[in-house]
Amino acid sequence: MTDIVNKATRSRMMSGIRGENTKPEIRIRQLLHRDGFRFRLHGRDLPGKPDIVLPRYRAVVFVHGCFWHGHDCHLFRLPGTRRAFWTAKIGRNRIRDDENVAGLLVLGWRVATIRECALKGRTRLLETTVASHLAVWLRGDAPLLTIEGRRSSPEKHVTKNVDSR
């Protein structure tokens, strides 16, 4: 299948995709700040350069776009062109995500991952729900938290709070 836009237009479109300061990331920062949490941004000295670093809680937050991180939700659809390229790229991103989380845990950091679908689209959660889950996790001691959008099947959970005890 050929691309519907020319190479220059596609290049311009792709260059407009942000890696930092995305709308979901900014919204999470606003929610945290509103609830009294103070943080640093884009911890370049930590594995994976977390979007939000909360040193007081020894915690970091990644805000992952569902497409770039291959999340199995309604916001992810593999492009029709260059499928092998995109499958490999997204697969590498997922492997790198796992390595970064493991590296942070070894260093004694707690890691939260908030998926784009928790904030956007038909399965999004109320922002107060996202903020509440994040605040409870930050004040607790569980090492991992994942917040994602609602699923249609009842066995899927909105948040996964993993305790190592």
Residue 31 forms part of a structural domain: yes
Residue 83 sits in a domain whose CATH number is 3.40.960.10
Domains of the chain: total:
1
Q: How high is the pLDDT of residue 152?
A: 43
Q: What's residue 17's pLDDT?
A: 59
Q: In this predicted structure, what is the pLDDT of residue 49? A: 95
Structural domain containing residue 45: 22-162
**Cα torsion 38, 42, 43, 49: sign:** positive
Any domain includes 117: yes
What does DSSP say about strands 110-115 and 59-64: parallel, antiparallel, or unpaired? parallel
What pLDDT was estimated at residue 18? 59
Percent of the chain as helix, strand, coil, to the nearest 5? 40, 15, 45
Helices 127-139 and 23-34: angle between axes, nearest 10 degrees = 60
The pair of three-digit structure tokens given for residue 26, joined into one six-digit string: 């900014």
Instruction: Say what the pTM is.
Output: 0.81
Is residue 9 assigned to a domain?
Answer: no
Q: Please, is 135 exposed, middle or buried when counting C-beta atoms within 10 Å of its C-beta (0-12, 13-18, 19+)? A: middle
| Residue 97 located in a structural domain | yes
Per the domain annotation, does 1 fall within a domain? no
What is the dihedral sign for C-alpha 15, 33, 145, 110? positive
| Mean pLDDT per 10-residue interval, the chain, length 165 residues | 68 60 91 96 94 98 91 85 91 95 98 94 93 96 94 46 51
Does some domain include residue 8? no
The answer to whether residue 127 sits within a structural domain is yes
With respect to residue 35, please indicate whether it lies within any of the assigned structural domains.
yes
Using alpha carbons only, give the angle 34, 151, 36 rounded to the nearest 5 degrees: 10
